[in-house]
Amino acid sequence: MAPILDPHTLEFVSRNPTQTHRLGVRLGALLPGGAVVCLEGPLGAGKTRFAQGIGRGWGAEQTLISPTFVLVREYDRAEDDVRLYHVDLYRISGAEEAFGLGLDDFLGDERAVCLIEWAERARSLIPPEHLWVRLAFADGDPLRRIINFTAQGERHAALLRRFRREAFGV
């Protein structure tokens, strides 16, 4: 099915990093506790930029910075006790290691929102219900990115429908 006709996917071309960030802000504002957002894309595709937008929209008290060094960074917001976990799985290869990070303590927890970069490196760790966001370079324009959203499970599909409506009016 063409992406535009499939209610579980959405494709969008971002003109530049600022627009990618703004899209993240829109999505972040809609994320309920228990949401899992996976970010896939090569170095420089804008994963962290998009994640920063999500953090801003969600209401994180600090700007999200790269989680590469500590693997997991946690953020709070003023309005409730839901926590945002920003995870980098680039160097995680299996469930045993993820256990050491305490991933299973917060993945899918109702009081946790999880943003996972390099999720494709450890697919077995990702809960079956999630929103998968793929960022890819577009030919011809160095700033342009193709962003593809795919929802798994009814809850994340509803999230994607809301995002589509609020961000694009369709």
Partner 1 sequence: MTRILAIETSCDETGAAVIEDGRRILSNVVASQVELHAPYGGIFPEIASRAHVEAIVPVIEQAMREAHLTYDDLDGVAVTYGPGLAGSLLVGVNAAKGLALGSGRPLLGVNHLEAHIYAHWLETAESAPRTASGAELEFPLLALLVSGGHTELILMRGHGQYEYLGGTLDDAAGEAFDKVGRLLGLPYPGGPAIQRASEGGRPTAFRFPRAWLGESYDFSFSGLKTAVLREVQKYSDPPQGQVLADLAASFQAAVVDVLATKTARAAEEFGVREVLLCGGVSANRALREVTTERAAVPVRYLPPFLCTDNGAMVGACAYHHFQAGDRAGWDLDVVPGLRLAGRGRKGR
Binding-site ranges for partner 1 (CB under 8 A): 17, 43-44, 48-49, 52, 63, 65-66, 68-74, 90-94, 96-97, 100-102, 142
H-helix or E-strand spanning residue 146: strand 145-152
Distance separating alpha carbons of residues 145 and 134, to the nearest angstrom: 10
Beta carbon nearer to partner 1, 7 or 94: 94
Beta carbon nearer to partner 1, 75 or 163: 75
Distance separating alpha carbons of residues 80 and 164, to the nearest angstrom: 25
Q: How far is the CB of 142 from partner 1 (least distance, A)?
A: 5
| Strands of the 145-152 sheet, one edge to the other | 9-14, 145-152, 130-137, 36-40, 112-117, 83-88, 72-76
Beta carbon nearer to partner 1, 32 or 44: 44
Q: How far is the CB of 49 from partner 1 (least distance, A)?
A: 7
Q: How far is the CB of 111 from partner 1 (least distance, A)?
A: 18
Beta carbon nearer to partner 1, 1 or 96: 96
Q: How far is the CB of 53 from partner 1 (least distance, A)?
A: 12
Q: How far is the CB of 100 from partner 1 (least distance, A)?
A: 5
- % helix, strand, coil for the chain, step of 5: 35, 25, 40
Beta carbon nearer to partner 1, 35 or 92: 92
Q: What's the distance, Cα to Cα, between the start and end of the chain in Å?
A: 18
**Contact between 75 and 86 (Cβ < 8 Å):** yes
